[in-house]
């Protein structure tokens, strides 16, 4: 189930970069650090403890190919 576009525009990565997020299946992915956050029952879970860090860790640039 896709998130509402307005909600997605308001959400940001909870790491220090606070970059926009993009939806990728059942996860939200940071457009800067490529860390990903689960969407459970249609609700984004933006807790660092439940997240998967990007290739260079939370808040660190992932590079141009890492964020799709």
Domains present along the chain, CATH in parentheses: 5-50 (2.20.25)
pLDDT band at 24 (very low <50, low <70, confident <90, very high): very high
Q: Average pLDDT of 23-45?
A: 96
* pLDDT given for residue 17 in this prediction: 86
Q: What is the pLDDT of residues 9-20, one digit of tens each?
A: 999 999 988 999
Q: Where are the alpha helices (DSSP H) in the chain?
A: 5-10
Q: Is the pLDDT of residue 66 over 60?
A: no
- Euclidean distance between CA atoms 14 and 60, whole angstroms: 12
Which pTM was predicted?
0.87
Kindly report the CA angle at 4 between 27 and 36, in degrees rounded to 5?
A: 15
């Amino acid at each position: 189930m896709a998130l509402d576009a307005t909600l997605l525009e308001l959400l940001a990565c909870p790491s220090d970069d606070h970059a926009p997020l993009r939806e990728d299946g059942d996860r939200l992915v940071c457009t800067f650090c490529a860390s990903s956050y689960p969407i459970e029952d249609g609700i984004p879970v933006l807790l660092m403890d439940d997240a998967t860090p990007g290739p260079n860790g939370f808040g660190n640039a992932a590079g141009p190919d890492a964020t799709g």
